[in-house]
């Protein structure tokens, strides 16, 4: 058969799932001789790369390429999601598709003209016709990273593996090495996020549906605020309290929840406090109460017990898909990026949304200066004081808290020594990257912690449209929304056939519904790792419906905010 026949059939198969890529391939050149077709002993067409001297280098075995492909795939301990680096003759991909435990496949290729030559050499319809398969040709780093982040859902897909076509990689080593690093970076980010979901997924869901009930009050929008001082809870805050008091009258004081008790102990009443932690331990930050005129900014997924500390908390939507769903389908809430992993990052984002021109940052150490973990009077001090005795003095508790970290680097600079950890370093670097995207000028006040590099001083913010921080109007009562959400969860189609086929057939609203459940699915999978994708979907639906039924049943007194128990304070490190 001629090349045109194969090329057109392959494009037709590809167009059903990726019409844009098929369109790009129609404009490619298939006559540049990048590949030469060889015949294996088993009669298979084996593509071979042609070098500058005209020599052909086969990408697969010329004995039995299908057997070779099966052996490669058999090296995987489980199925899950597979990223193939290089398409070649597709023998390994076809072998993977024969396995029912393979939930998704991505094929990464470079040089669209060379890829078009492959499609003109043999038939790939079996590959392109399977809904599990995605072909990416010439993706840049951002496109490749975004694809992995958006497509791979570990709670449903299982593990992820990368299988390189070695001979193909040898002819574009630098390009594929960059792709490999990008994929690893995306997987690391997903892994970190999934670990958090596995611990907090159920709590996020329960908190959010309960907060919806108190989030429908109409509030006046907040006018822009030009100068904002943010307090984090690092030990340097103790040294900077005097400076804060001097500037108090000229700055809007926004406290992170961790720093609130330290401010109140110094008779500093903040204008606002922000909290993003879904754990009940965050309630410890509010044991002194919230001053009457202090605004509480709160993630919808925060504990309802914290929300009860203020008569009218100002809710926002953070990174959880359920809070985003609530914002899209019931009442629009301000969106605040919480991807920095700590409350200081979220506070800076909030200050920028409030229209700040200058944001001063106090107590942001992102390290442990001279072995100290938090400013005085913060929750960890009062918490440890309750449990100290002559066998476990306060100093020992702090040392144990500090050395729970897997690695500590001791650094000396600017006349101070400090301990640094990888997580705190990661938080700082994310904040530094954020500073380059702000409309406001971020000014970290020097302390004893690690310096924060925000680059060159920015010019004053150009005043255009006046930003107003406000929630939109709800389109129904909170209970009506929750009942409708519960009904739609019940109607969500059970998984039949392959996961990829199931996902491809879901309409937009059904996909949105499923996304709201995935963090909870991660928590369920943590306890039941052997659940199949279909069992996982049904289990998480049942959990969500049970929680909603429990909330919506006729009230017999206030609903207890269960789970307020002695918590693991190790997670409190995000407070700085």
Kindly report, residue by residue over 195-216, the tens digit of the pLDDT. Answer: 889 989 999 999 999 999 989 8
- For residue 282, the model assigns a pLDDT of 72
Residue 532 lies in a domain: no
When pLDDT is averaged across residues 546-554 and rounded to a whole number, the result is 91
pLDDT confidence tier of residue 405, bands split at 50, 70 and 90: low
Looking at the fold, whether 96 and 158 belong to one and the same domain comes out as yes
Distance separating alpha carbons of residues 321 and 557, to the nearest angstrom: 30
Q: To the nearest whole number, what is the mean pLDDT of the chain?
A: 88
- For residue 557, the model assigns a pLDDT of 44
- E strand intervals along 88-213: 102-109, 133-137, 160-164
Looking at the fold, whether 165 and 237 belong to one and the same domain comes out as no
CATH number of the domain bearing residue 83? 3.40.50
- The proportion of the chain whose per-residue pLDDT surpasses 90, expressed as a percent, equals 67
CB atoms within 10 A of CB 203: 18
- For residue 222, the model assigns a pLDDT of 87
Q: Say if residue 393's pLDDT is above 90.
A: no
Residue 543 lies in a domain: no
**Where is the domain boundary, 391, 421, 455?**
455
Of the candidates 132, 163, 162, 172, which has an alpha carbon nearest to the alpha carbon of residue 504? Answer: 132
Distance separating alpha carbons of residues 169 and 108, to the nearest angstrom: 11
Looking at the fold, whether 159 and 43 belong to one and the same domain comes out as yes
**C-beta of residue 408 within 8 angstroms of C-beta of residue 423:** no
Looking at the fold, whether 448 and 358 belong to one and the same domain comes out as yes
- For residue 571, the model assigns a pLDDT of 37
Residue 90 lies in a domain: yes
- List the 133-137 sheet strands across, edge first: 133-137, 102-109, 80-85, 160-164
The dihedral built from the CA positions of residue 394, 396, 401 and 402, taken in this order, carries a sign that is positive
Looking at the fold, whether 244 and 379 belong to one and the same domain comes out as yes
Residue 256 lies in a domain: yes
Residue 530 lies in a domain: no
Q: Say if residue 560's pLDDT is above 50.
A: no
SS3 322: helix
- Lowest-pLDDT range of 214-223, 295-304, 504-513: 214-223
Looking at the fold, whether 247 and 110 belong to one and the same domain comes out as no
- List the 56-58 sheet strands across, edge first: 35-39, 45-50, 56-58
Can you give the three-state secondary structure of 494-514, one letter per residue? CCCCCHHHHHHHCCHHHHHHH
pLDDT confidence tier of residue 556, bands split at 50, 70 and 90: very low
pLDDT confidence tier of residue 386, bands split at 50, 70 and 90: low
Q: What is the per-residue pLDDT across 331-357, written as a single tens digit (0 to 9) for each?
A: 999 999 998 989 999 999 999 999 999
Looking at the fold, whether 103 and 18 belong to one and the same domain comes out as yes
Contacts of 149 (CB under 8 A, 6+ apart): 186, 189, 190
Distance separating alpha carbons of residues 182 and 10, to the nearest angstrom: 28
When pLDDT is averaged across residues 252-271 and rounded to a whole number, the result is 94
**Where is the domain boundary, 136, 171, 206?**
171
Name residue 444's beta-bridge partners: 361
Q: What is the per-residue pLDDT across 417-473, written as a single tens digit (0 to 9) for each?
A: 888 888 888 999 999 999 999 999 999 999 999 999 998 777 766 665 556 678 888
Q: What is the per-residue pLDDT across 40-80, written as a single tens digit (0 to 9) for each?
A: 999 999 999 999 899 999 999 999 999 999 999 999 888 89
- How many domains in the chain? 2
Looking at the fold, whether 250 and 373 belong to one and the same domain comes out as yes
Contacts of 87 (CB under 8 A, 6+ apart): 93, 107, 109, 115, 118, 124, 135, 165, 168
- Lowest-pLDDT range of 61-65, 208-212, 387-391, 518-522: 387-391
- Lowest-pLDDT range of 94-103, 393-402, 415-424: 393-402
- The proportion of the chain whose per-residue pLDDT surpasses 70, expressed as a percent, equals 89
Residue 325 lies in a domain: no
- For residue 467, the model assigns a pLDDT of 65
Provide the residue range defining the domain that includes 55. 3-171
Q: Say if residue 243's pLDDT is above 80.
A: yes
Residue 549 lies in a domain: no
- For residue 376, the model assigns a pLDDT of 84
Looking at the fold, whether 8 and 100 belong to one and the same domain comes out as yes
Q: What is the per-residue pLDDT across 286-321, written as a single tens digit (0 to 9) for each?
A: 878 899 899 999 999 999 989 888 888 999 999 899
Residue 477 lies in a domain: no
Classify strands 45-50 and 35-39 as parallel, antiparallel or unpaired: antiparallel
**Where is the domain boundary, 156, 171, 186?**
171
Looking at the fold, whether 365 and 438 belong to one and the same domain comes out as yes
- For residue 399, the model assigns a pLDDT of 67
- For residue 569, the model assigns a pLDDT of 35
When pLDDT is averaged across residues 100-115 and rounded to a whole number, the result is 96
Looking at the fold, whether 8 and 132 belong to one and the same domain comes out as yes
**C-beta of residue 321 within 8 angstroms of C-beta of residue 301:** no
Look up residue 421 and give its DSSP letter.
-
pLDDT confidence tier of residue 252, bands split at 50, 70 and 90: very high
pTM reported for the whole predicted model? 0.84
Looking at the fold, whether 114 and 36 belong to one and the same domain comes out as yes
């Amino acid at each position: 058969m001629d090349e045109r026949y194969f090329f057109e059939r392959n494009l037709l198969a590809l167009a059903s799932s990726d019409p844009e890529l098929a369109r790009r391939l129609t404009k490619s050149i298939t006559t540049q001789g990048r590949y030469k077709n060889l015949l294996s002993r088993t009669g298979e067409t084996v593509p071979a790369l042609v070098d500058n001297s005209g020599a052909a280098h086969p990408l697969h075995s010329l004995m039995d390429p299908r057997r070779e492909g099966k052996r490669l795939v058999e090296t995987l301990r489980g199925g899950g999601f597979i990223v193939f680096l290089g398409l070649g003759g597709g023998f390994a991909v076809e072998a993977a598709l024969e396995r029912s435990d393979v939930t998704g496949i991505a094929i990464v290729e470079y040089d669209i003209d060379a890829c078009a030559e492959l499609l003109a050499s043999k038939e790939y319809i079996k590959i392109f016709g399977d809904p599990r398969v995605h072909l990416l040709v010439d993706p840049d780093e951002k496109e490749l990273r975004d694809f992995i982040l958006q497509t791979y859902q570990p709670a449903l897909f299982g593990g992820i593996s990368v299988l390189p076509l070695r001979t193909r990689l040898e002819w574009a080593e630098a390009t594929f090495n960059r792709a490999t690093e990008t994929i690893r970076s995306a997987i690391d980010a997903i892994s970190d996020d999934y670990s958090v979901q596995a611990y907090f997924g159920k709590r996020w869901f329960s908190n959010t549906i309960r907060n919806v009930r108190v989030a429908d009050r109409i509030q006046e929008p907040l006018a822009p605020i030009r100068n904002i001082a943010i307090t984090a809870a690092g030990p340097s805050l103790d040294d900077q309290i005097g400076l804060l008091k001097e500037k108090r009258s000229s700055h809007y004081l926004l406290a992170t929840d961790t720093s609130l008790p330290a401010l109140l102990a110094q008779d500093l009443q903040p204008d606002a406090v922000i909290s993003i932690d879904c754990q009940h331990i965050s309630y410890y930050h509010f044991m002194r109460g919230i001053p009457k005129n202090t605004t509480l900014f709160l993630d919808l997924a925060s504990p309802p017990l914290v929300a009860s500390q203020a008569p009218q908390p100002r809710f926002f939507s953070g990174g959880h898909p359920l809070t985003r769903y609530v914002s899209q389908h019931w009442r629009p809430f301000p969106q605040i990026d919480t991807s920095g992993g700590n409350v200081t990052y979220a506070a800076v984002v909030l200050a920028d949304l409030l229209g700040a021109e200058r944001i001063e940052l106090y107590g942001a150490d992102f390290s442990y200066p001279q072995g100290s973990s938090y400013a005085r009077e913060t929750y960890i001090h009062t918490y440890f004081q309750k449990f100290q005795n002559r066998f476990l003095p306060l100093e020992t508790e702090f040392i144990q808290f500090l050395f729970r970290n897997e690695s500590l680097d001791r650094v000396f600079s600017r006349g101070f020594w400090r301990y640094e950890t990888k997580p705190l370093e990661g938080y700082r670097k994310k904040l530094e990257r954020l500073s380059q995207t702000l409309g406001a000028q971020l000014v970290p006040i020097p302390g004893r912690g690690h310096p924060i590099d925000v680059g060159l001083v920015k010019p004053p913010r150009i005043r255009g449209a006046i930003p107003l921080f406000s929630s939109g109007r709800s389109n129904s009562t909170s209970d009506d929304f929750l009942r409708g959400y519960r009904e739609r969860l019940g109607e969500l189609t059970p998984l039949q056939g392959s996961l990829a086929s199931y996902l491809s057939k879901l309409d937009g609203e059904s996909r949105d519904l499923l996304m709201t459940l995935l963090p909870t699915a991660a928590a369920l999978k943590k306890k039941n790792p052997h659940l199949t994708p279909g069992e996982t979907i049904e289990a998480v639906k049942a959990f969500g419906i049970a929680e909603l039924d429990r909330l919506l049943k006729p009230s017999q007194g206030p609903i207890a905010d269960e789970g307020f128990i002695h918590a693991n304070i190790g997670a409190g490190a995000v407070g700085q």
